[in-house]
Amino acid sequence: MSCARGEHVHTLNVELRSRSYPVLIDAGILGRPGVLDPQLAARDVLIVSNTTVAPLYLPALSATLQSRRLVPVILPDGEAHKTLGNLSRVLDVLVANRFGRDCAVLALGGGVVGDLAGFAAASYQRGVAFLQVPTTLLAQVDSAVGGKTGVNHPGGKNLIGAFHQPAAVMIDTRTLTTLPARELRAGLAEVIKYGLICDAALFAWLEAHLDALLAGDPGALAHVIRRSCEIKAAIVGRDEREQGERALLNLGHTFGHALEAATAYKEWLHGEAVGAGLVMAAAMSQACGYLSAADAARVRQLVERAGLPAHAASVEPQALLEHMRIDKKVKGGRIRLVLLRAIGTAFISDDYPQGALRSTLAAHCGAARR
Amino acid sequence: MSCARGEHVHTLNVELRSRSYPVLIDAGILGRPGVLDPQLAARDVLIVSNTTVAPLYLPALSATLQSRRLVPVILPDGEAHKTLGNLSRVLDVLVANRFGRDCAVLALGGGVVGDLAGFAAASYQRGVAFLQVPTTLLAQVDSAVGGKTGVNHPGGKNLIGAFHQPAAVMIDTRTLTTLPARELRAGLAEVIKYGLICDAALFAWLEAHLDALLAGDPGALAHVIRRSCEIKAAIVGRDEREQGERALLNLGHTFGHALEAATAYKEWLHGEAVGAGLVMAAAMSQACGYLSAADAARVRQLVERAGLPAHAASVEPQALLEHMRIDKKVKGGRIRLVLLRAIGTAFISDDYPQGALRSTLAAHCGAARR
């Protein structure tokens, strides 16, 4: 990862040799003509967006991509629509418009749009160019960077997909002005995660500036977006295919994915499930004797202050455990978890007391909690 | 590519650095216990096969894979079933059986089974181990080696897929004893292709030994399988992602894929379409002044002697041209063709007289030919 600050655009690079790419961050960059030209050779561009985002930002994006042939596909909004069926719909549009191998697919929206469009780009003609224009905080700080693409299966989150890096990520921080408060809070879950896995100073900064973030302060948001992208770009640059270190980014996600699957991707936003998952991972780390009660309490308090759920009333502990067993991080039948030794220090373990997992789930799931 | 001859098993290696893998060739290898053990770490193995091949060879394969958990998925037989819908079905079985990222997918069958199973392996959990056990001549000489996977779209052949190399290819030449004559002939189209693109001696050998091949002579078949795999392994080793030389392997395929799509994958076997495509490519090369009339005639004669079609009565020239335009090899709106300068020398061109293409199609397509 390298970093440069131009006159206007803050640029990070994800360093992946021949597949390196820039993350461009700026307020108002979305409507700037030609800003993607260096990364976008294609004449034919399929823009995948959703019914919420397209009316807000498709016109400005179209101005940026002037003189290209743009074909939009507008999907319904929400995690429940990240399906093989909608992937097929996007592929149908590519074929119907006779897009060649030299086309590009551009995602304009949040993580759902980005993941699905990315998998379409990965699999159409065995791979075409892909660009990410994330418009939610969660996508800007996490899902748009790193090349994980895919769709959900009724049996589990992101079970079908590919690694396919974008040619560029363009983040317009101004798009957050139209983001619903619930979505903003969901995005903060991933920012908290970065602090927990490797940056205790970021975690403390969040404790100090959470109110500004929740109020939508542009400077505070720009700070966490830049820092999050820096951390993610560095980790992806060192471990693109999740052979090791990258798995730390899954802190809270084994719990979170299972929460989403157990509620059929309809009840929780991804970031909300991750928020509850972070609390569960901290409680599990405490139950195993790795994390102090004080640190576990700080995690829970920050998640709750961010307006994120810390328990799952509608999911029974046993049901959650069943869904965790099909997660991608299961290896040799054992559920691998990311656990915490301290705020800022995470590690991976599949060697923990099963009783600790059961008691953690029992304490954070089920109607009895309410 | 390297090559070694053991006491029993003829082994080639596809050299792709960390993703290198062996191609094991022998008569009777399919039922030999433990023969895949060095390449197959997985305990859970999903076997994808079809209703024709599974009854013949699944029992022997199961003996080879002793002590593993085997789950079969048996698809209907035929190119028309290489669809996103059947991919989804295979993925459903993987999820329903809670296969983890450490599982393997094994293809037992021809090119359809191999392509679909390979794409399932590429996309399940963003990529799991994959093994090829091809049982048709076409799959043994071509599609099982090289890592191209995918499914068809109604708009075009193999439009959705991934590059995903197998961990091993195991070719039992004895499976050809149960192969229908029509399928054997279809496989020969790809062998003829290798001669045309880079091995004039192989082409001449085929002219001299075609009758033995058509009669199912084991020695003759083993010879062409080994030589074909050698050529393919060498080309794939030099150009895995088809940035250059590998595209030569598409000789006849731009015509052939369009023939298949124009007939909804129901009328032609892939190899039959390639056979007609080779004749069209040779005729086109002659029409452009690259290939001598004598060489074009040799191509046509060998294809016809192999019992393969040399023209497409049921497809109108204009319809074929439309389908060629959506092919993956179209670049910048121009149809890229592999053409011949001589038998054994091929090259890629998108700069040819459009009239030559139209007259070639008119001479080889449409009811008027009959």
Q: What is the DSSP string of A235-300?
A: HHHH-TT-SSGGGGGGTTHHHHHHHHHHTTTTSS-HHHHHHHHHHHHHHHHHHTTSS-HHHHHHHH
B154 and B119 in a common domain: yes
* Residue A302 confidence (pLDDT): 98
Strand partners, B104: B45, B129
For range A80-87, the mean pLDDT: 96
Confidence band of B80 (pLDDT split at 50, 70, 90): very high
Q: Which residue of A has its CA nearest to B323?
A: A98
Distance, CA of B163 to CA of A27 (rounded, Å)? 38
Amino acid at position A352, single letter: Y
* Angstrom distances, CA of residue A366 to CA of A271, A320, A353: 20, 10, 21
Is residue B163 less than 8 Å (CB to CB) from chain A? yes
Using DSSP bridges, classify how beta strands B168-172 and B104-109 pair: parallel, antiparallel or unpaired. Answer: unpaired
Q: Kindly determine whether residue B126 and residue A328, on different chains, have CB atoms separated by under 8 Å.
A: yes
Contacts 24+ apart (CB under 8 A), A330-335: A330/B98, A330/B100, A330/B101, A331/B100, A331/B101, A331/B102, A332/B43, A332/B100, A332/B102, A333/B100, A335/A254
Q: Are A272 and A304 in contact (CB under 8 A)?
A: no
For range A133-159, the mean pLDDT: 95
ipTM comes to: 0.92
A220 and A144 in a common domain: no
CA dihedral in degrees (A75, A79, A81, A87; nearest 10)? 80
- Helix/strand/coil for A334: strand
Confidence band of B368 (pLDDT split at 50, 70, 90): low
Sign of CA dihedral A214, A217, A220, A226: positive
- Is B316 noted as a catalytic residue in this protein? no
| Rg value, chain B, Cα | 20
Burial class (CB in 10 A: 0-12, 13-18, 19+), B124: buried
* Annotated catalytic residue, options B10, B157, B164, B246: B246
Q: Which residue has the tokens 């991804």?
A: A270
Q: Which residue of A has its CA nearest to B325?
A: A98
Distance, CA of B200 to CA of B216 (rounded, Å)? 23
> What is the percent of chain B where pLDDT is above 90?
91
Selecting from A126, A162, A326 the residue whose C-beta is nearest the C-beta of B126 gives A162
Which of A89-103, A316-330, A352-366, B233-247 is the least confident region? A316-330
Q: Kindly determine whether residue B156 and residue A100, on different chains, have CB atoms separated by under 8 Å.
A: no
* Residue B326 confidence (pLDDT): 77
Q: Which residue has the tokens 């089920």?
A: A366
Number of compact structural domains in chain A = 2
For range B159-175, the mean pLDDT: 97
Distance, CA of B329 to CA of B322 (rounded, Å)? 14
**Could you tell me the CATH number of the domain that includes residue B288?**
1.20.1090.10
B242 pLDDT above the threshold of 80: yes
DSSP assigned state of B61? H
**Could you tell me the CATH number of the domain that includes residue A94?**
3.40.50.1970
B157 and B263 in a common domain: no
Structure tokens at B202: 């192989």
* Residue A6 confidence (pLDDT): 44
* Residue A3 confidence (pLDDT): 47
Selecting from B84, B126, B156 the residue whose C-beta is nearest the C-beta of A88 gives B84
Domain-ending residue, one of A178, A202, A222: A178
For range B91-99, the mean pLDDT: 94
A307 and A166 in a common domain: no
Q: Which residue has the tokens 């009565």?
A: B313
Contacts of residue A112, Cβ cutoff 8 Å, sequence gap at least 6? A50, A75, A77, A78, A79, A81, A82
A156 and A193 in a common domain: no
Q: Kindly determine whether residue A91 and residue B160, on different chains, have CB atoms separated by under 8 Å.
A: yes
- Helix/strand/coil for A364: helix
DSSP assigned state of B1? -
Structure tokens at A265: 């991707």
Confidence band of A369 (pLDDT split at 50, 70, 90): very low
Amino acid at position B120, single letter: A
Is residue B344 less than 8 Å (CB to CB) from chain A? no
DSSP assigned state of B173? G
A72 and A32 in a common domain: yes
**Cβ-based neighbour number of residue B157 at 10 Å:** 26
A1 pLDDT above the threshold of 60: no
Mean pLDDT score of chain A: 94
Residues of chain B in contact with residue A328, where contact means CB-CB under 8 angstroms, are 100-101, 125-126
DSSP assigned state of B229? H
Contacts of residue A132, Cβ cutoff 8 Å, sequence gap at least 6? A106, A107, A114, A118, A139, A144, A145, A166, A168, A169, A170
Domain that holds residue A301: 181-369
Residues of chain B in contact with residue A84, where contact means CB-CB under 8 angstroms, are 84, 88, 91
Q: Which residue has the tokens 């996309």?
A: B123
Residues of chain A in contact with residue B332, where contact means CB-CB under 8 angstroms, are 43, 100, 102
Q: Which residue of B has its CA nearest to A44?
A: B332
**Cβ-based neighbour number of residue A346 at 10 Å:** 23
B300 and B217 in a common domain: yes
Residues of chain B in contact with residue A161, where contact means CB-CB under 8 angstroms, are 123, 125-126
A266 and A186 in a common domain: yes
d(CA B95, nearest CA chain A) in Å: 6
Helix axes B200-214, B293-305, angle to 10 degrees: 30
Confidence band of B334 (pLDDT split at 50, 70, 90): confident
Q: Which of B120, B122, B103 is nearest to B112 (CA)?
A: B120
Domain-ending residue, one of A162, A178, A194: A178
Q: Kindly determine whether residue A159 and residue B101, on different chains, have CB atoms separated by under 8 Å.
A: no
How big is the A-B interface in CB pairs under 8 Å? Answer: 100
Is residue A331 less than 8 Å (CB to CB) from chain B? yes
Q: Kindly determine whether residue B328 and residue A88, on different chains, have CB atoms separated by under 8 Å.
A: no
Q: Which residue of A has its CA nearest to B155?
A: A95
Q: Are B108 and B155 in contact (CB under 8 A)?
A: no
Distance, CA of B152 to CA of B82 (rounded, Å)? 6
Q: Are A104 and A166 in contact (CB under 8 A)?
A: no
Burial B301-331 (b: 16+ CB within 10 A, else e): ebbeebbbbbbbeebbbebbbebbebbbbbe
B106 pLDDT above the threshold of 70: yes
Selecting from A43, A126, A148 the residue whose C-beta is nearest the C-beta of B162 gives A126
- Helix/strand/coil for B59: helix
B223 and B91 in a common domain: no
Structure tokens at B322: 């439309």
B206 and B339 in a common domain: yes
Q: Kindly determine whether residue B156 and residue A326, on different chains, have CB atoms separated by under 8 Å.
A: no
Residues of chain B in contact with residue A330, where contact means CB-CB under 8 angstroms, are 98, 100-101
Domain-ending residue, one of B178, B208, B233: B178
* Residue B3 confidence (pLDDT): 47
B64 and B39 in a common domain: yes
Is residue A84 less than 8 Å (CB to CB) from chain B? yes
Q: Are B255 and B320 in contact (CB under 8 A)?
A: yes
* Residue A144 confidence (pLDDT): 98
B111 pLDDT above the threshold of 60: yes
A36 pLDDT above the threshold of 80: yes
Residues of chain B in contact with residue A91, where contact means CB-CB under 8 angstroms, are 84, 153, 159-160
B325 pLDDT above the threshold of 90: no
> Residues, chain B, total?
370
* Residue B331 confidence (pLDDT): 72
Q: Which residue has the tokens 């000489």?
A: B141
- Helix/strand/coil for A171: strand
Q: Which of A123, A131, A165, A113 is nearest to A40 (CA)?
A: A131
- Sequential DSSP letters for A89-116: HHHHHHHHTT--TT-EEEEEESHHHHHH
Q: Which of B285, B269, B273 is nearest to B324 (CA)?
A: B273
Q: Kindly determine whether residue B163 and residue A127, on different chains, have CB atoms separated by under 8 Å.
A: yes
Q: Kindly determine whether residue A331 and residue B102, on different chains, have CB atoms separated by under 8 Å.
A: yes
Active-site positions of A read 126, 148, 190, 232, 242, 246, 250, 253, 257, 270
* Residue A368 confidence (pLDDT): 57
> Residues, chain A, total?
370
Mean pLDDT score of chain B: 94
Query: Cα A311 vs. chain centroid, distance in angstroms?
Result: 21
Q: Kindly determine whether residue A102 and residue B127, on different chains, have CB atoms separated by under 8 Å.
A: no
Structure tokens at B97: 């059986």
B138 and B79 in a common domain: yes
Distance, CA of A151 to CA of B91 (rounded, Å)? 12
- Is B246 noted as a catalytic residue in this protein? yes
d(CA B351, nearest CA chain A) in Å: 18
> What is the percent of chain A where pLDDT is above 90?
91
> How much is the pTM?
0.93
Confidence band of A327 (pLDDT split at 50, 70, 90): confident
- Report B:94-123 residues touching A (Cβ under 8 A): 95-96, 98, 100-102, 119, 122-123
Q: Which residue of B has its CA nearest to A43?
A: B332
- Report B:41-60 residues touching A (Cβ under 8 A): 43
* Residue A331 confidence (pLDDT): 72
Distance, CA of A316 to CA of B258 (rounded, Å)? 53
A370 pLDDT above the threshold of 60: no
Residues of chain B in contact with residue A153, where contact means CB-CB under 8 angstroms, are 91-92, 95
For range B191-202, the mean pLDDT: 98
DSSP assigned state of B366? S
Is residue B322 less than 8 Å (CB to CB) from chain A? no
A359 pLDDT above the threshold of 50: yes
Distance, CA of A153 to CA of A112 (rounded, Å)? 13
* Angstrom distances, CA of residue B127 to CA of B75, B94, B164: 21, 12, 8
* Residue B370 confidence (pLDDT): 44
Q: Kindly determine whether residue B159 and residue A91, on different chains, have CB atoms separated by under 8 Å.
A: yes
Q: Which of A139, A157, A140 is nearest to A254 (CA)?
A: A157
* Annotated catalytic residue, options B98, B126, B241, B370: B126
